[in-house]
Amino acid sequence: MSLLIKNANVIDANGNFQGDILIIDGIINQIGKEINKEGIEVIDAKGYTVMPSFIDTHAHFREPGLTHKEDIESGSKAAAKGGYTGVCLMGNTNPICSTKEVVEYVRNRAKEVGLIDVHQCVSITENFCGKSIEHLESFNDDKELVAITDDGVGVMDSSVMMKAMEKAKESNWIVMSHAEDKTFSKIDMRIAEDLMTIRDLYLAKVTGARLHMAHVSTVESINAIRRTKNEGGNVTCEVTPHHIGLTTDISSYRVNPPIREKEDVNAIIEGIKDGTVDCIGTDHAPHTEEDKKNGAPGMVGLETSFSICYTELVKNNNISINKLSELMSKNPANILRMNKGTISVGKDGDLVLVDLNKEVTIDKETFVSKGKNTPFQGRKYFGEVIKTIRGGKVIYSK
Ligand code: DOR
Ligand code: ZN
């Protein structure tokens, strides 16, 4: 698809620019002033900011098997509405993503829906058994596989995690860690996260594996990741909008890892400022009302992520919008090896038009996700997604 965007206030991780963007056959072809091209669709972006679309390192679309909570179509629509054109999907579906069939099913379904680009993670252990990693052999020649994870449960057995890291290193896969020592989950969720963070950082150092820490939420874990990075460790990490935007004094909403304290949020902000934190991962986790009543952890995140992050980071914490673009587009695209994330010639024509001055009140009734589980209901933020463009095609318009 080809598209010309005129009069845009362009912002990405590398800088700001006032002008036009030309997308030809899905790829950014030219950036400049007064670009003209006959016979293609034109969008006048005057008054809006144009950024690279967002990329999510962490989402749950629940298909196959749990499609009453979300499916690939509703999840893709929620992503598009939130300004996202790329997501990395977790493997805790039913069946779990441990076989080529399930992974191929998700990839094909996502292509059929055709709204966003999807990376499906494979489980670290077979069906989350915690012991066997033999199924990973069947992905040896899978060129599309980027990351393996047991997100939702984690890998308790340290020797199994070490073997998985060795295998991942050999295969050029990222190991994504849901850091939760289950033996501490009922005792102390802070120790549960910190112990596993420290273990996985150590195992990654020993094995040389490429590690990505999911939903980092504590001051101690941020500090441990900073230390590892300073020592040259091969690690990246994500933080969620809810661990930035909520603290225990304002919300007790159930999510794993749990909502933390003010000091933890401050550590996340410091980590963002000094480069310890690489990206925002929403941990979009749709559940039915009944499942939430029965204690299911998690919340939806794709449709509210930009407003929360823009308000909390840029407006309230003096972080530049270029840094926000790095966190939501450039770095996650690099981590997931997608040709996206900055507005430069040769990158995918994936953009988002946002209105930074618009105040929005979060209303779950407007969500296109099947999940309405949010603790942000009624909260007010700045910044609204007006249009999302993927490969030069408008996939969401307000
Ligand atoms: O709160 C959470 N919900 N944390 C997880 O790790 C899993 C997720 C889910 O799948 O619902
Ligand atoms: Zn998780």
Domain ranges of the chain: 3-50+349-397, 53-335
Catalytic residue among 56, 150, 278, 283: 283
pLDDT at 192: 98
Q: Is 363 a catalytic residue?
A: no
Q: What is the pLDDT of residues 83-101, one digit of tens each?
A: 999 999 999 999 999 999 9
pLDDT at 314: 98
- Answer whether 280's CB lies under 8 Å from 309's CB: yes
- Answer whether 148's CB lies under 8 Å from 174's CB: yes
The answer to whether the bond into 52 is cis (omega within 30° of 0) is no
Q: What is the pLDDT of residues 296-335, one digit of tens each?
A: 999 999 999 999 999 999 999 999 999 999 999 999 999 9
C-alpha separations of 286 from 71, 136, 221, 291 in Å: 10, 27, 26, 10
> Which residue in the block uniquely carries the two structure tokens 């020649």?
141
Q: What is the pLDDT of residues 177-194, one digit of tens each?
A: 999 999 999 999 999 999
Q: Confirm or reject: Cβ of 375 under 6 Å from ligand 1.
A: no
pLDDT at 265: 98
| Residues surrounding ion ligand 2 at CB below 5 Å | 151, 178
Q: What is the pLDDT of residues 203-239, one digit of tens each?
A: 999 999 999 999 999 999 999 999 999 999 999 999 9
CATH of domain 3-50+349-397: 2.30.40.10
Q: What is the pLDDT of residues 61-87, one digit of tens each?
A: 999 999 999 999 999 999 999 999 999
- Which residue in 3, 49, 55 sits closest to 29, CA to CA? 3
Contacts of 280 (CB under 8 A, 6+ apart): 54, 56, 57, 238, 239, 240, 241, 305, 309, 327, 328, 332
Q: Confirm or reject: Cβ of 185 under 6 Å from ligand 1.
A: no
Q: How does the average pLDDT of the chain come out, rounded?
A: 98
Alpha-carbon distance 306 to 341, whole Å?
Answer: 15
Q: Confirm or reject: Cβ of 19 under 6 Å from ligand 1.
A: no
Contacts of 89 (CB under 8 A, 6+ apart): 59, 60, 61, 106, 118, 119, 120, 121
Q: What is the mean pLDDT of residues 240-269?
A: 98
260 token code pair: 């933390």
Q: Confirm or reject: Cβ of 333 under 6 Å from ligand 1.
A: no
Q: What is the pLDDT of residues 26-66, one digit of tens each?
A: 999 999 999 999 999 999 999 999 999 999 999 999 999 99
pLDDT at 396: 98
359 token code pair: 């105040």
Q: What is the pLDDT of residues 350-398, one digit of tens each?
A: 999 999 999 999 999 999 999 999 999 999 999 999 999 999 999 999 9
Alpha-carbon distance 167 to 267, whole Å?
Answer: 33
The architecture (CATH level 2) of 53-335 comes to Alpha-Beta Barrel (3.20)
Burial of 287 (0-12, 13-18, 19+ CB in 10 A): buried
Which pairing describes strands 84-89 and 117-120: parallel, antiparallel, or unpaired?
parallel
Distance of CA 24 to the CA centre of its chain: 27
Q: What distance in angstroms lies between residue 299's CA and the mean position of ligand 1's atoms? A: 8
Q: What is the pLDDT of residues 145-160, one digit of tens each?
A: 999 999 999 999 999 9
Distance of CA 50 to the CA centre of its chain: 20
